[in-house]
Amino acid sequence: MITIENLRKSYGKLQVLQDVSVTFAAGKVISIIGPNGAGKTTVSKCILGMVLPDSGDIKMNGKSVLKQHAYRRQIGYMSQIGRYPENMTIRQVIEMMRDIRKDVKEVDEELIGLYRLKEMYDKRMGALSGGTKQKVSAALAFMFNPQVLILDEPTAGLDPISAEILKCKILKERKKGKLVLITSHIMSEVEEVADEVMCLVDGHVKFYETISSLKQQTNEERLSKAIAKIMNEEVKP
């Protein structure tokens, strides 16, 4: 569904992505992991067209997305930190988004309901707690039934029940054949929701494997231990 070919991106002298090539298939939850600064958000932003790569290509359903716009309607995005106009209420933000996306007739309001956002509809975005803002971001990401979801550390700041609601929603959408890309540092969470793990280190794909294959290769039952083993082996002389 999404193919990334020889992607490179630098910010000044800093080479953030170095020849990244991967294919993400529909109907999968793929977790993008790696140390801070490895380039995870940059990959997501390149797919979204928020960052223009220096070279390489990104294709969605076989067509290059570079400098295109229409394909973005097929992507729901939840950024690490949601930024909203402080004076707008939750209701106004949601209505504004619905107005922009009038093309979608059947909106998905499941998360609005499960997070009971309507009870807080008249609160200003600037007055919301970090977690509530995350809930609004999650509700918006899923609202227009996108084929692809890109979720950047989606459960950071959510209480355990709200995080659980989001994980169930992710799995529900995967069953419908959607592609979900999640960046996360929480290995237990990755293990719960992801089918495959792509690990970026210094802008390179260190590995891209199914969770079961990672466990099998390392003879570990827990994903965190399997990944620690792979990383430590690299460090050894």
> Which residues contact ligand ATP by CB under 6 A?
11, 14, 16, 34, 36-42
Residue 176 Cβ, how far from ligand ATP at the closest point, in Å? 27
Rg of the chain over CA atoms, in angstroms? 18
Instruction: Specify the residue, 8 or 124, whose C-beta has the smaller distance to ligand ATP.
Output: 8
Instruction: Specify the residue, 55 or 216, whose C-beta has the smaller distance to ligand ATP.
Output: 55
Instruction: Specify the residue, 117 or 190, whose C-beta has the smaller distance to ligand ATP.
Output: 190
Instruction: Specify the residue, 40 or 167, whose C-beta has the smaller distance to ligand ATP.
Output: 40
Query: 218, 229 in Cβ contact below 8 A?
Result: yes
Residue 12 Cβ, how far from ligand ATP at the closest point, in Å? 7
Residue 160 Cβ, how far from ligand ATP at the closest point, in Å? 22
Distance CA 179, CA 147 (A): 6
Look at strands 148-152 and 2-11 and give their pairing.
Answer: unpaired
Distance CA 216, CA 127 (A): 48
Q: How far, in Å, are 89, 157, 222 from residue 216 at the CA level? A: 49, 32, 10
Q: How many CA atoms lie within 13 A of 67 on its CB side?
A: 3
Residue 50 Cβ, how far from ligand ATP at the closest point, in Å? 10
Residue 120 Cβ, how far from ligand ATP at the closest point, in Å? 28
DSSP string, 52-88: --SEEEEEETTEE-TT--GGGGGEEEE-SS----TTS
